[in-house]
Amino acid sequence: MKKPNNLRISFILEIFWLIIFIFASIKGLIETFKMGFEGSYVFFIISALALFLFLARRNLRRNTSENNS
């Protein structure tokens, strides 16, 4: 069965935010070892924001797919 377009876009955005979270976390850890926390806290803020948006998107997609079933 073909997914509705809204669920597909929601899934793509969910994966996008997960990838941003992973890359920002890795970059934050690398920068922490290089320059200390003062130079890397921005990456941790970005990774926290990306994680929040990933979880919000995931919850939204699950609720939407349950309502459509």
Give pLDDT tens digits for 14-64: 999 999 999 999 999 999 999 988 888 999 999 999 999 999 999 988 888
pLDDT of residue 8: 84
What one-letter code names the amino acid at 38? E
Segments making up each domain of the chain, as ranges: 14-64
pLDDT averaged over the chain?
88
Mean per-residue pLDDT for 5-12? 82
pLDDT of residue 64: 80
Per-residue CA distances from 46 to 59, 60, 65 (Å): 20, 21, 28
